[in-house]
Amino acid sequence: MGGNLDTIRCGIGADLLSLDGGILLFEENHGLGMVDRQLTQLMRSGLLNGLRGVAVGQITGFEDDRSNGWTVA
């Protein structure tokens, strides 16, 4: 299952997603702070429990000096 990270995050509490045993594919275009917040919220919600793997698509917003060398990895 996958898509835009913010769209996946919006599924929390909506009983629309089950990632148990699955692979999460995501991409995002809002930079480091947004990616960190969204992944943290997904982890704390328990939605990522049982996840078998993660595939990361295109992540934009790390190209400028504000990222201070940080990457999604």
| Nearest of 20, 23, 33, 21 to residue 57 by alpha carbon | 23
For residue 67, the 8-state DSSP code is: G
Q: Which residues are CB-contacts of 53 (< 8 A; sequence separation ≥ 6)?
A: 23, 24
Q: What is the rounded CA–CA span in Å between residue 44 and residue 63? A: 28
Check: CB of residue 57 under 8 Å from CB of residue 25: yes
Which pTM value belongs to this model? 0.75
Give me the tens of pLDDT residue by residue for the chain, a chain 73 residues long. Answer: 778 888 888 878 777 667 889 898 888 887 777 888 888 998 998 888 898 998 988 887 666 656 666 666 6
Q: Which domains occur in the chain, in start order?
A: 2-67 (3.50.30.60)
> Average pLDDT of the chain?
80
